[in-house]
């Protein structure tokens, strides 16, 4: 960026932060997390010239990069909060929740597409887009209410992490399908092999870092907060970059790096606690706000006007499907009815995966513009409705 573009971006960010600060203060008076003020401010900015500047050209690219850093920092911090022992005790329940939480949205989404007359393959892929959860949208609210380490928080984060694996395979499946149309059988086989190799290399790297490299690096410099922050940035960027470059998704790398570093901070005593506090402050005080700006600017409810019935059906297929799946765990005595409501609504958070998949399909001319518009509108509606509904349900609980 040149000097003029840099100055313009900084001034626009100042305006957004100022408005978010004022609105956040009002929301806090109603016991609604102030971080949602950033989401509402950016949603309004989307329909102004400011939204155009921040979503196009070089300033838009810089802002999108900051938004991705927001995802990285938020989920890195959440990874540090995960108690593997507690998660292990809930692992069977979390697997059950993931299966039910993904199966019913998939079936409902596929049924909607078949009912509307679309082909089996398109219905199958659109059904898959109803499955993933964007836990990055919900975890800041969980943290605001100090619920990350509660049973509800562990369910949402655990299922969200497994959903991230599903997202990887969803995008991979669509890429393989599109590749099969253009590259033939050999191209498809190459895509599958590349994905499996990437997963194996990522798992091996995580084990080596946890077993050998981190214990060595943790003792290379005195365990002071600034040195631990430097080590955190090294591990977070390395795993985030590796997982993104390997098409596994930056989210997976962010959470795994946080999980790997938690034992280091525990062993560092007060220095580790100061480091965690510093990372939390920068994650929620800056990058988390930027992330919600980025999400809000991507919200476009115009599709609800153009394709209201299709967008609403796609939204309900995911929303109702996830609630049905989670509520089946109540008679299984895995969740109480109140917990099922909170978990079910929280797992309905969505972000960019379905839009990415829809764009891939549109570019390959496998879906039409009407369906693409409806998918974007359904995702945008989820981005607006779910954080607010989740906040209200947590307050009632």
Question: 126: number of CA atoms within 13 Å, CB side?
Answer: 32
352: phi then psi, degrees, rounded to nearest 5: -110, -15
231: phi then psi, degrees, rounded to nearest 5: -65, -40
Q: Do 350 and 379 contact (CB within 8 A), yes or no?
A: yes
Per-residue pLDDT of the chain (397 residues; tens, 9 = 90+): 778 888 888 898 899 999 989 988 887 777 666 777 888 888 888 888 887 778 777 778 888 888 888 878 887 887 787 666 655 665 777 788 888 888 899 899 999 989 988 888 888 888 887 887 776 677 777 777 777 777 778 788 777 767 766 665 665 566 555 555 544 445 445 656 766 777 788 888 889 988 888 888 888 888 888 899 999 999 999 988 888 777 666 777 887 888 888 888 888 888 888 988 898 888 888 888 888 888 778 776 666 677 788 888 988 998 999 999 889 988 888 888 888 888 888 888 776 566 666 766 776 677 777 787 788 778 777 877 888 888 888 777 6
In eight-state DSSP terms, residue 364 is T
Q: In this predicted structure, what is the pLDDT of residue 17?
A: 92
Q: Do 70 and 291 contact (CB within 8 A), yes or no?
A: yes
* Threshold 0.85, pTM exceeds: no
Q: Supply 298's token pair.
A: 């991507």
Q: In this predicted structure, what is the pLDDT of residue 234?
A: 92
Distances from the Cα of 48 to the Cα of 21, 55, 285, 297, angstroms: 19, 11, 25, 10
Q: Do 274 and 225 contact (CB within 8 A), yes or no?
A: yes
> What ranges in the chain are assigned the alpha helix state H?
3-29, 36-45, 49-55, 57-81, 84-89, 91-115, 120-129, 135-144, 151-182, 184-208, 214-218, 225-245, 250-267, 270-282, 288-298, 302-306, 308-327, 337-346, 353-363, 369-396
Domains of the chain by start residue, with CATH: 3-396 (1.20.1530.20)
């Amino acid at each position: 960026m040149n000097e003029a573009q840099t100055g313009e971006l900084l001034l626009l960010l100042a305006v957004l932060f100022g408005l978010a600060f004022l609105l956040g203060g009002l929301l806090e008076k109603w016991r609604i997390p102030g971080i949602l003020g950033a989401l509402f401010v950016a949603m309004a900015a989307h329909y102004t010239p400011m939204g155009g500047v921040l979503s196009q050209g070089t300033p838009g690219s810089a802002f999108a990069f900051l938004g991705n850093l927001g995802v990285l920092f938020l989920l890195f911090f959440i990874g540090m909060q995960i108690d593997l022992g507690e998660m292990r005790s809930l692992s069977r329940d979390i697997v059950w929740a993931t299966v039910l939480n993904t199966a019913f949205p998939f079936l409902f989404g596929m049924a909607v597409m078949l009912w509307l007359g679309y082909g089996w393959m398109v219905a199958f892929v659109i059904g898959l887009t109803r499955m993933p959860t964007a836990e990055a949208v919900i975890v800041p609210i969980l943290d605001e209410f100090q619920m990350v380490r509660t049973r509800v928080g562990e369910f949402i984060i655990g299922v969200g992490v497994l959903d991230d694996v599903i997202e990887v395979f969803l995008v991979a499946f669509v890429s393989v399908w599109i590749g099969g149309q253009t590259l033939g059988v050999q191209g498809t086989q190459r895509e599958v092999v590349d994905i499996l190799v990437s997963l194996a290399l990522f798992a091996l790297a995580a084990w080596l870092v946890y077993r050998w490299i981190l214990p060595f690096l943790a003792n290379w410099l005195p365990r002071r907060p600034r040195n631990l922050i430097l080590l955190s940035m090294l591990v977070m960027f390395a795993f985030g970059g590796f997982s993104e470059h390997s098409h596994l998704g930056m989210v997976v790398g962010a959470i795994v790096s946080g999980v790997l570093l938690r034992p280091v901070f525990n062993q560092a005593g007060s220095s580790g606690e100061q480091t965690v506090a510093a990372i939390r402050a920068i994650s929620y005080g800056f990058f988390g706000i930027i992330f919600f700006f980025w999400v809000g600017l991507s919200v476009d409810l115009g599709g609800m006007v153009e394709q209201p019935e299709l967008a609403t059906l796609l939204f309900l297929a995911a929303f109702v499907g996830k609630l049905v799946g989670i509520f089946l765990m109540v008679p299984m005595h895995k969740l109480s009815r109140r917990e099922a409501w909170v978990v079910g609504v929280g797992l309905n958070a969505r972000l960019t995966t379905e839009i990415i998949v829809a764009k891939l399909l549109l570019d390959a001319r496998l879906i039409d513009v009407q369906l693409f518009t409806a998918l974007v509108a359904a995702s945008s509606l989820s981005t607006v409705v779910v954080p607010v509904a989740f906040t209200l349900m947590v307050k009632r609980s």
